[in-house]
Structure formats: structure tokens, C-alpha cells
Structure 1
Amino acid sequence: MATRARTDQDYGDTSSNDGKVDTRTEREKQIDDWLPITSSRNAKWWYSAFHNVTAMVGAGVLGLPQAMAQLGWGPGMAVLFISWVVTLYTLWQMVEMHEMVPGKRFDRYHELGQHAFGEKLGLYIVVPQQLIVEVGVNIVYMVTGGQSLKKFHDLICGDHCNDIKLTYFIMIFASIHFVLSHLPNFNSISGVSLAAAVMSLSYSTVAWTASVKKGVQPNIEYGYKELNPGGTVFSFFNALGTVAFAYAGHNVALEIQATIPSTPEAPSKGPMWKGVVVAYIVVAICYFPVALIGYWMYGNSVSDNILISLEKPTWLIASANLFVVVHVIGSYQIYAMPVFDMIETVLVKKLNFAPSFMLRFITRNVYVGLTMFVAICVPFFGGLLGFFGGFAFAPTTYFLPCIMWLTIYKPKKMSLSWITNWVCIILGVALMVVSPIGGLRQIIKDAKTYKFFN
């Protein structure tokens, strides 16, 4: 991994206000100009907006109605709102910390972790969690893309086509990424990301408007679906992880901000925060109507993917599933790019491989192939959301930025900043402990009736 934070060359000059100069060797400059995160810094504030929308509004929004069913009206609304506020606060912290040291930019999550916790400890704390999140999201999006393609096929064909296994649709979805994964950096996927952001707003709107059109279902029940208290508690835990999964953009926030130009007079945090605010408004417009209306219309019988519960009008639901496919294509790339950066950094900086097209071609194709294979083996959408949401998303989204803030800035004990951060840490740790339990139970339940490569 790259352990050196970027210096004053990011300001477009060879020196910064504190007199430091760019001390990189020619080879280091060539490598940084080749790596995905640092090769392009000409993004505008609206790039931040749609990259963050694409990173956040994804598969998670489709699972929110079922999360509401597992949580109940009161707890569900509270968890959704508190998560929105807490994650907006922790994302603001990350934006602020990107350039806290004059002449440096923490372009990667683990670089900020190293500044807070030390060179080695920072890597050990941040990198495993970030990799679990990003690889986990890519696996879930492989499943989501395959499921949505299958749903689109089944709706369009009706009874006139032969049934095709989900496995093949996941492979079709993966084939797109065997091509797109060779785009070199974040700015090169901006068009894909913009299309994905528009699609996320589109299919979210379709999900709740089609639910309203269908109306409240007969014999609807809003009570907990599990028949015993133990099952209800585990489902509650799983739902917490599903909500945590829905607020996941922090894992690529610093990498997105790294693409924005910066000068001492106009630091990148200005346009980045502007984009984040716009993104969070879009998140609220997507999440709250889908979660509340979906649960209101279907009660506790709602599917773990709201679009699966909807059948008519056929053309509209088929279109919505196609929107989902386009969106998760962009989301996959947003989360894969930092992973590519980590892999390529290790290969060229630690193992001394020469930066080349062939190196990139092999590593990225292998990565896409592995995520495809795991998705085919474990296509359990609801359980995967809960498990990954709690196990890795809670730390990197809910409380790791708060721990870094306390470590670096050391706010006065019992001050508003100190109290706020500790509340976020306590809530995040509780979420991290309980939600993977519910998610793992859901995966085990689903696995009982599943046939591999079906």
C-alpha cells in the first residue's frame, strides 16, 4: 500500500506555503501519475455529488422496506433518521481531515489512518476493514445485477421463454466489468457514475410510486414476521446491518476528494462538501419514501428486494430493474477503483513490477472473476446486506472517523465535539457487534434451501 501522503505538488506548484518541496523521485512521480487514485485531479464539485450518490444509493435502498418490517415502525424510522444524521456528520469529518496537515493530502482512507494511529497500526486497522467493505459491496452488487437482469428477463418474456439460472445472469453482469474495469481512474468513470446516479433516483422513485399505485395489500400485517422472540431479535439485528449497508459512501470518500484540485486559497474540502450535501439530499429523497411506503404497502411480507415484490405495470417494473443494473454497474466501479489502487500500489511499489497495461489487465480481470465466483456461490441478498453492513460498514462509516477525530484533534473532555463523537462511537460499536449475527443467521437460513450454481 502507498504509505506516503501526497505533498505540495497537489497544489500545482513545487513548493507550499511552509516551504516544503516535492521530494519524490522521477519513478515515484511516474507511479503516482499511473495509479488510479492520484493520476487525475481535475474533478468539479458535481463529480463529488454523483460519485457519492453512486457510492451510497445502491443495493441497500432496495432492502430498506424489509429492514423496516424487521424493525417495526418506531424503531425503523428512528434508525433511518439517526443513521442519516450520524453518517453525514462522520462524512463531514473525513472531508475536513483530508487536508488537515499543510502541504499534504490524505488521498486514501488508510493514509488518514496512518496519520491518526501510526504507520503500521493505521494500515492494520483501516486496510482490512476497507477491503472487506469494498470487496463485499462488489460481491453484493454482482448478486444484485444478476437478480435484476433475471427479473427483467422474466418480466419481458413472461411464459414465452425458458427459465435461465441466476448463475448465468451474474456471469452476464460480470462480463460488463471485464471491460469497464480497465478504465484507468475515477475521472475516467465519471460518465458511468453520472448515469448510475440518475438511475438510482429513477428506480427509487419507481419503487415507491409503483407501490403506491398497487396500494395497501389485502390481509396486510405490520407485526414482526418471526414466530418466536429469538427469531424476532435476530431479524432486528439483521435489519440494523441492512441500514448500515445503505450508508456506505465513506469508504471511498477520501479517494473521491483526491480527484478534486486544491490550492491553499481554495482547498478541495469546499467543492467536496458541496457535493456531499447535494448527495445526501438525494439520499434522503431515495431512502425515506422507499423504506416507509414500501413497508406501508406490503407490511411484513415485503421481499428483501422491493422490486421483486412488484410485478405490474410490467413495463415499468422491467424498466426499474434495468435502471438497477445500470446503477450497480457504476457502483461496482466506484468501489472497485480503490481496490485496484491498493493492488497496483503493492505490485509496483513493493514488488517492483513495472506499471503497464498487461499488469492492469491481468490483476483487474482476476479481481472481477473472483467477485463473480463468490457471488454465484453465495447469492443471498438480504443476509449479505446485514452481514457486511454490520461487520465492516459500521466501523468505517459510523465510528472510525470519530476515533480519528478524537485522536488527532483531542477535543476538550465533555465538550460538544467530545460528547458527539463518543455517542457515535458507542452506537457504531453496538451496531458492529449485533448486526453480523443477524446477517449470518439469515445466510444460514437461506442456504438450507439453496442449490449451488442453480
Structure 2
Amino acid sequence: MEWRRSGKGRGYDQNPKTKTEEGTVWTATTHAITAIIGSGVLALPWSVAQMGWIFGPLALIGCAYVTYFTAVLLTDCYRTPDPVHGKRNHTYMDVVRSILGPKDVVICGIAQYILLWGVMIGYTITTATSIMKVVRTDCYHYKGHDAKCNTSGTLYMVLFGIVEIVLSQFPSLEKITLISVVAAIMSFAYSFIGLGLVAAKFASHGSPQGTILGVQIGADGISASTKIWQSLQALGNIAFAYTYSMLLIEIQDTLKPSPPENKTLKRASLYGIGVTTIFYVSIGCVGYAAFGNDAPGNLLTGFYEPFWLVDLGNIAVLIHLVGAYQLYGQPIYAKYETWLSNKWPESPFIHKVYKLPLPFTKGKSFNFTMCKLVLRTAFVVLTTLISLMLPFFNAILGLLGSVAFWPLTVYYPVTMYITQASIKRKEARWWGLQALNCGALFVSLLAAVGSVAGMAQQLKHVTMLKTEL
């Protein structure tokens, strides 16, 4: 889910006379695939392992279907009040405001920004894990697998935070377009490397590993409660991997008005989610077949040879997350800085621009305000500290998936479609959509409980501010 369209301000020119819509079903399909595939793919074999050969694949396919179905509903809400001839809404929040009103915008905004911040925390943890894996893999390769190659990720999280402090000083998303493109390329690189590694491992022993119900109580050294919490985390991980709705409206905003954008994006969503599902089921199931119930929480941490390919995969994760971190951080910066600017329009701390000449350039300078320098730095530092205290890859992904799945993927698309299509209460369609709504809420609550419980269990066995592999 690391795609953004470059443009003006928050990503788009709001003047319809200057805005260009040249997108087709194929460009939208490409954007959809890029938007969905991200670091969540690394947790899929572990997620399938927690639920086994029956419920694991069913969860992958079920989340895909729900994602597609609600995407179809959301595409009809892009224009209001008529899905073909109505007014354009350029972002997800614009659609919520136009159909449901300002109160829902506040609630939706809270859910969105919690998710954005949570992803930044998750990316900090994942980056440290990837760097530790590179160090450990190289240590084993050159010193042998009997060598003591334990490594700590604390330093790597701090270094990653320092890099993000520097990148956070870029004015807006439009200034980091190249980073966004590189991030998307890297996400495909490590995904295919991971798929290749698990396919080779599976081929090496020929028969599929794993059990019908996944990780076994007692036999695999876990208790009944741990089995339950990890299975619920796995649901959240899968839901996180399919997160798409937040970017759907922005993708739709790139399309030509003829044929109608909603028809084009329905086809693109079918193709994009279909391709992604095939890929996810392949990597999840082949990964489980290769590792069995011992599938690692992060796919790339389960390999040591060929060391150069494992290193390439983890370096691709690192490069991807360096850029993707800012794609999630910049909207948060923009939101609170806009609020501060309107609240204190005369404050020098917020508005006075300082210029720092850049060496070896022709008159160029780095422009900043004390507000951006201090608050963005403080925000990244706080994010890094939380990551150091909660270094749990799968539990964090599960919690993020639970936060995003019900409100952003199901509740708002369903509620807005009911309003937009004027579906009357208690008619058949209304009951069906509300059943989906309630079911998704139940799954999200279970995933959230499982993830929090999993973190509570793991906190008993870790040292705060110390991450090890």
C-alpha cells in the first residue's frame, strides 16, 4: 500500500480545469497492485501457519473478497450525489465529508491518522529486523553456523530514526516522488525474492509441511492461550496485507471521465486484487508448505543461504521502508502544521522561514521553519522510542490490520454506499450490508484483542529498549 500520485499540495490539483485525468484500467490496475503489496506480505507464511491448511487459505481468500466487494461500493461514492455525473471527491476524507458530514470526518480522520502512525512504528521495527538479519546472515556465512552471531537492533532503530528526521524536513509529498517510486520497486523486489526462496525450500524436500489446524498446542511448545492469540494476530496480519481502501479514491481520481471512473476502477480492482490474491496465496501457502509450523514471523528471517540473495531481499526491505515511512508521515505533519498555522497565524515559531545555503549548489538553500524542525524531529523521536519499547513485528501488524480493516475498509464504504444509493432500512440489501459490517467489526475486535494480548505476553520476555535477533 505504498503508492501515491505526485501532484499539488496534498497530492492533487483541485482545479478541475488544470487537473489531468489520463488514467486507464491498466494504469489503475498497476496502481492498485502497487498500493496493496507491501511489507505485510512478509508475515503471510507465519499467518497461515497459525491457522493451518484449512483456515489459513480461507482467511487469505476471504479478506481478498471483502476488500474487493467494499472497493466496488467505494468506487460508486467517488462522485456525489450521482456516481456518474456528480461532483468529484479527490480523497477518501472528501468522500466521507460529502456523504456523511463533518462529524464522521473527525472519526474517520482519527482512525486514518492512528493507522498512519502505527505503520510508521511497524516500519521502524521491520527495518531494524532486516538490518539485523543481514548482519547475522553474513556472520554465519563467513564464520559458520556454530558462531555466536546474536545482534541487537537498538542501534539500527536509532540510526533509522536519524535518517527519517532528515527526510521529514522535506516540505511535502511532492518533493519525495522519487523516493516513492523507488519504494514501490523495492516492495516488488523483496516480495519476489521471498517467493523464490520459499519455492526453492519447498522443492528441496518435496513434500508439504504443516498441519490441518496449524501450530499445535503442546506439540509445538505453545499453550492454548498463545495459540488463540497468535491465530487472532494472524487474522490482523492478513487484513493489514490487503489494506487498499485508503488509496482507492486517489487512484480513481487519476482516471479519464469516459468511460465513467467507477466502471473503470471496478475492473481495475478486480484485476489488481485478483493478481495480488494469487500472489499472496502462493507466498503464504508455499511458505507454509516449506516451513510448516515453524514458519518465521518475518519471511526473510527464515533463510541464511544463498546469503547474497537473502541480503538483497532485506536490503530491498530497508530501502523500501526508508521511503514508505515518509509517505505515511507527511500527511500527519501536514495535518498538525496546518492546524497550528491557522491557530497562531502570527507566530514566528510557525511561520518564519530560515534559509540555510547548500554547498556545491548555485544559490540553492534549505528552507525550514522552527516549527517543522522541532516538531517533526520530536515526532520521529517519539515514534522511534515506542518502536524500541514494542519490538513485535507480527503483533504490531495484527494491531494495524485490526485498526484499518473494520472502519476504513468496511464500515465507511458500506455506510457511504447505503447513503449514496438511498438503500432503505430493513430491506434485503440493507440487512446484507449490515451483516458484513457486523462481521468485519467482530473480526477486527478479535484481531485487536489477540494482538494486544500477544504483545502483553511477549513483554514478559523482552528487555525494554533492547531488540535482539
Q: TM range, normalised to the smaller chain?
A: 0.7 to 0.9
2:325: which partner in 1? 332
Once the 2 structures are TM-superposed, how far is the Cα of residue 267 of structure 1 from its aligned partner?
Answer: 6.9
Q: Write the letter of the residue equivalent to 2:70.
A: T
Q: Structure 1's 278 and 450: CA in aligned 2 closer, same or farther, altered over 3 A? A: same
Q: Structure 1's 355 and 122: CA in aligned 2 closer, same or farther, altered over 3 A? A: farther
Q: Does 1:84 align with 2:96?
A: no
Give the whole-Å Cα distance in 2 for the aligned partners of 1:90 and 1:413. 19
Q: Does 1:224 align with 2:215?
A: yes
Q: Does 1:64 align with 2:44?
A: yes
Q: Does 1:193 align with 2:186?
A: no
Once the 2 structures are TM-superposed, how far is the Cα of residue 93 of structure 1 from its aligned partner?
Answer: 3.0
Equivalent residues of 2:194, 2:299 under 8 A apart: yes
1:132: which partner in 2? 114
Q: Structure 1's 261 and 238: CA in aligned 2 closer, same or farther, altered over 3 A? A: closer
* CA displacement 1:83-142 (0-9 Å, x = unmatched): 1121122233333323324674433433322333322x2133211111111111111011
Give the whole-Å Cα distance in 1 for the aligned partners of 2:192 and 2:185. 11
Give the whole-Å Cα distance in 1 for the aligned partners of 2:225 and 2:200. 35
Equivalent residues of 1:238, 1:438 under 8 A apart: yes
The residue correspondences of 1:28-427 to structure 2 (distance < 5 A) are 35-38=9-12, 45=23, 52-101=32-81, 104-119=87-102, 121-158=103-140, 164-215=151-202, 216=205, 221-222=210-211, 223-227=214-218, 228-255=223-250, 260=254, 276=269, 279-352=272-345, 354=351, 357-358=368-369, 359-411=371-423, 418=430, 421-427=433-439
Q: Write the letter of the residue equivalent to 2:159.
A: I
Give the whole-Å Cα distance in 2 for the aligned partners of 1:421 and 1:88. 14
Moved more, 90-99 or 126-135: 90-99
* CA displacement 1:313-338 (0-9 Å, x = unmatched): 11111111111112223332332233
Gaps of 5+ in 1: 1-32
Give the whole-Å Cα distance in 2 for the aligned partners of 1:107 and 1:363. 28
Classify the secondary structure of the residue corresponding to 1:78. helix
Equivalent residues of 1:207, 1:320 under 8 A apart: yes
Equivalent residues of 2:172, 2:330 under 8 A apart: yes
Give the whole-Å Cα distance in 2 for the aligned partners of 1:275 and 1:190. 23
2:463: which partner in 1? 451
Q: Structure 1's 381 and 399: CA in aligned 2 closer, same or farther, altered over 3 A? A: same
Give the whole-Å Cα distance in 1 for the aligned partners of 2:134 and 2:22. 35
Equivalent residues of 1:217, 1:298 under 8 A apart: no
Q: Structure 1's 300 and 132: CA in aligned 2 closer, same or farther, altered over 3 A? A: same
Moved more, 360-369 or 60-69: 360-369
Q: Write the letter of the residue equivalent to 2:117.
A: V
2:363: which partner in 1? none
Give the whole-Å Cα distance in 1 for the aligned partners of 2:30 and 2:154. 30
Moved more, 367-376 or 224-233: 224-233
Give the whole-Å Cα distance in 2 for the aligned partners of 1:365 and 1:256. 31
Give the whole-Å Cα distance in 1 for the aligned partners of 2:372 and 2:247. 20
Q: Write the letter of the residue equivalent to 1:195.
A: V
Give the whole-Å Cα distance in 1 for the aligned partners of 2:463 and 2:291. 28
- Name the TM-score, length of structure 2 as normaliser: 0.78
Moved more, 282-291 or 178-187: 178-187
Q: Write the letter of the residue equivalent to 1:181.
A: S
Once the 2 structures are TM-superposed, how far is the Cα of residue 164 of structure 1 from its aligned partner?
Answer: 4.7
* Equivalent residue pairs, number: 419
Q: Structure 1's 256 and 417: CA in aligned 2 closer, same or farther, altered over 3 A? A: same
Equivalent residues of 1:150, 1:166 under 8 A apart: yes
Q: Write the letter of the residue equivalent to 1:210.
A: L
Give the whole-Å Cα distance in 2 for the aligned partners of 1:229 and 1:173. 37
| Percent identity of paired positions between Structure 1 and Structure 2 | 26
Q: Write the letter of the residue equivalent to 2:311.
A: A
Q: Write the letter of the residue equivalent to 1:133.
A: L
Moved more, 47-56 or 176-185: 47-56
Q: Structure 1's 185 and 378: CA in aligned 2 closer, same or farther, altered over 3 A? A: same
Give the whole-Å Cα distance in 2 for the aligned partners of 1:426 and 1:412. 18
Give the whole-Å Cα distance in 1 for the aligned partners of 2:248 and 2:239. 16
